[in-house]
């Protein structure tokens, strides 16, 4: 049976090399071996339990599947050229081991429901694993936020210095985005938790199989309702990819920030030697390659999502071979996002933050302009009038070279009381509204983040 193809009965010629080279998926779907074996063991047990197969056959198949599991675990499984995908390879080997009984494994089953089952089991496990890695990054950001104490840095809009913010506030801003990522990964995981096994090729089977039985053996929360939908639904791949893509986009934004922070122009952070790279020609260089690749790899991660959506669009019911194109993008996005999470988490944990440089940048007088306007508002001046008045002072300071604080002190409506706002760190102290960037709001936000983190942790499997 080694060199025979699954469909050899209907065909008088073996598949062309070009067909195999183009259509075989063993090169990548070998990654599903564990999940394909789990699906096959559940299927064989169900066939025995339902009386579709004699129990001796069912037991012989399960024993053979267990032997194959041991071979994969020990990395001694031997592939042959006709193994076009992992499902074919495993069934071929089971038949070698169990003989006539092995030839009964595929009873009431198609590779179409088989592959959907394996991929759901795989994705269910992997999305939880990625969520765990996102959690580790949140944890590091949160710890670095605690270490930052009352340190502050400029907050930016349009990449122009805008207002001072606590460093802890800035770090936790990224943490909040990542909490939503975990929620999304786990939400996608909940929705994919449906067994497609028992749908057959597209329409079910005349044999008395029990789809509920395999669903429960495999630990799926529910079973499919419609066989056509079960074998053609790859929403879970698209949705999983979207959740991963947003993690990738968040890593990219974080990466861009660290590229800037570690530049000499900013000087806000220095990477550990272990998490930076040198130059082959320029002896002085210390580059943030992890951060740059976190930014760069977002391109292909987005490509993987849009690629799968494009593959799905326009596909008629039910299974089409196009669906084989779901795997490589999913595997690649998982790999890239997981590696990016690990590398960025370590990089941020090990970096040195230069809070004195940050604070010097944040103490630039212009960053107090809004507080001066708000000081006037608190004394009854309409905001638009105050905005224009302070704007004029900023303009005069720029054209005359007189420090803004001196103009404020000399101004009749402002004076020495308002000039106090220019004391280093004074402006950040005043950011006290809900969720704001100052120390008063920071404590409440820290508590809230910890509450959400505990909640997410309780949802992780």
What is the C-alpha separation between 76 and 33, in angstroms, rounded? Answer: 13
Tell which residue, 33, 346, 31, 337, has the closest CA to residue 185.
337
Q: CB of residue 61 vs ligand ARG: minimum separation in angstroms?
A: 20
Residue number, 155 or 198, with CB nearest to ligand ARG: 198
Q: Is 454 exposed, middle or buried (0-12, 13-18, 19+ CB in 10 A)?
A: exposed
Residue number, 313 or 434, with CB nearest to ligand ARG: 313
| Count of helices and strands (H, E) across the chain | 20, 6
Residue number, 37 or 276, with CB nearest to ligand ARG: 37
Alpha helices in 233-316 (DSSP H): 235-261, 289-296, 298-312
What token pair was written down for 164? 């001072």
Map tokens 């090169």 to a residue: 27
Whether 155 and 165 have beta carbons less than 8 Å apart is answered as yes
Q: Where along the sequence are the contacts to ligand ARG (CB under 6 A)?
A: 25, 29, 85, 87, 111-112, 115, 319, 321, 323-324
Q: CB of residue 107 vs ligand ARG: minimum separation in angstroms?
A: 17
Q: Provide φ and ψ at 272, rounded to 5°.
A: -70, 155
Residue number, 158 or 321, with CB nearest to ligand ARG: 321
Q: CB of residue 279 vs ligand ARG: minimum separation in angstroms?
A: 43
Q: Which of 263, 272, 279, 433 is catalytic?
A: 279
Q: CB of residue 122 vs ligand ARG: minimum separation in angstroms?
A: 12
What is the C-alpha separation between 368 and 382, in angstroms, rounded? Answer: 18
Q: CB of residue 120 vs ligand ARG: minimum separation in angstroms?
A: 13
Residue number, 152 or 319, with CB nearest to ligand ARG: 319
Please spell the DSSP secondary structure of 322-391, one letter per residue. GGGGGHHHHHHHHHHHHHHHHHHHHHHHHPEE-HHHHHHHHT-GGGGHHHHHHHHHHTT--HHHHHHHHH
Q: CB of residue 27 vs ligand ARG: minimum separation in angstroms?
A: 11
Residue number, 27 or 401, with CB nearest to ligand ARG: 27
The answer to whether residue 158 is catalytic is yes
Residue number, 111 or 124, with CB nearest to ligand ARG: 111
Q: CB of residue 214 vs ligand ARG: minimum separation in angstroms?
A: 18
Q: Is 74 exposed, middle or buried (0-12, 13-18, 19+ CB in 10 A)?
A: exposed
Whether 90 and 67 have beta carbons less than 8 Å apart is answered as no
- Residues near 402 by beta carbon (within 8 Å), at least 6 away in sequence: 396
Please spell the DSSP secondary structure of 418-445, one letter per residue. HHGGGSTTHHHHT--STT-SSHHHHHHH
Q: Which of 12, 158, 280, 399 is catalytic?
A: 158
For 165, the enclosing helix (H) or strand (E) is strand 160-166
Residue number, 88 or 370, with CB nearest to ligand ARG: 88
CA distances from 54 to 46, 105, 211, 214, 367 (A): 11, 12, 18, 17, 80
- Which 3 state secondary structure label does DSSP give 161? strand
What is the C-alpha separation between 413 and 447, in angstroms, rounded? Answer: 40
Q: CB of residue 324 vs ligand ARG: minimum separation in angstroms?
A: 4
The answer to whether residue 168 is catalytic is no
Q: Active-site positions?
A: 158, 279
């Amino acid at each position: 049976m080694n060199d025979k193809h699954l469909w050899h009965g209907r065909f008088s010629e073996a598949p062309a090399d070009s067909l195999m080279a183009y259509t075989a998926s063993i090169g990548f779907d070998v990654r599903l071996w564990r999940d394909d074996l789990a699906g096959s063991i559940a299927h064989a047990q169900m066939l025995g339990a339902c009386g579709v197969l004699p129990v001796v056959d069912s037991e012989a198949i399960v024993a053979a599947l267990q032997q194959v599991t041991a071979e994969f675990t020990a990395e001694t499984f031997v592939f042959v050229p006709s193994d076009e995908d992992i499902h074919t390879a495993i069934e071929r080997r089971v038949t070698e081991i169990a003989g006539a009984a092995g030839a009964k494994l595929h009873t009431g089953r198609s590779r179409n429901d088989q592959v959907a089952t394996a991929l759901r089991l795989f994705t269910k496990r992997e999305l939880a694993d990625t969520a765990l890695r996102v959690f580790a990054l949140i944890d590091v950001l949160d710890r670095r936020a605690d270490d930052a104490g009352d340190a502050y840095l400029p907050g930016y809009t349009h990449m122009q210095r805008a207002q001072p913010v606590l460093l802890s506030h800035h770090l936790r801003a990224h943490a909040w985005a990542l909490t939503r990522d975990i929620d999304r990964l786990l939400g996608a995981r909940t929705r994919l938790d449906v067994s497609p096994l028992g749908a057959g090729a597209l329409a079910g089977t005349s044999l008395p199989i029990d789809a509920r039985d395999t669903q429960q053996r495999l630990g799926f929360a529910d079973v499919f309702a419609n066989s056509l939908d079960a074998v053609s639904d790859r929403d879970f791949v698209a949705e999983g990819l979207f959740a991963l893509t947003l993690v990738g986009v968040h890593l990219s934004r974080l990466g861009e920030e660290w590229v800037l922070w570690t530049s000499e122009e900013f000087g806000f952070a220095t990477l550990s030697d272990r998490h930076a790279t040198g130059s082959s020609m320029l002896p002085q260089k210390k580059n943030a390659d992890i951060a740059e690749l976190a930014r760069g790899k977002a391109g292909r991660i987005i490509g993987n999502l849009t690629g799968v959506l494009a593959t799905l669009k326009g596909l008629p019911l039910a299974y089409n071979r196009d669906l084989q194109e779901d795997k490589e993008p999913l595997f690649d996005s998982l790999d890239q996002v997981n590696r990016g999470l690990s590398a960025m988490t370590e990089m941020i944990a090990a970096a040195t933050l230069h809070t004195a440089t940050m604070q010097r940048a944040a103490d630039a007088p212009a960053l107090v302009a809004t507080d001066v306007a708000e000081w006037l508002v608190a004394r009854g001046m309409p905001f638009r009038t105050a905005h224009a008045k302070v704007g004029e002072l900023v303009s005069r300071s720029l054209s005359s070279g007189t420090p803004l604080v001196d103009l404020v002190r000399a101004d009749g409506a402002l004076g020495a009381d308002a000039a106090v706002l220019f004391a280093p760190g004074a402006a950040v102290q005043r950011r006290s509204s809900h969720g704001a960037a100052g120390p008063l709001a920071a404590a409440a936000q820290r508590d809230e983040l910890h509450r959400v983190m505990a909640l997410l942790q309780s949802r992780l499997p």
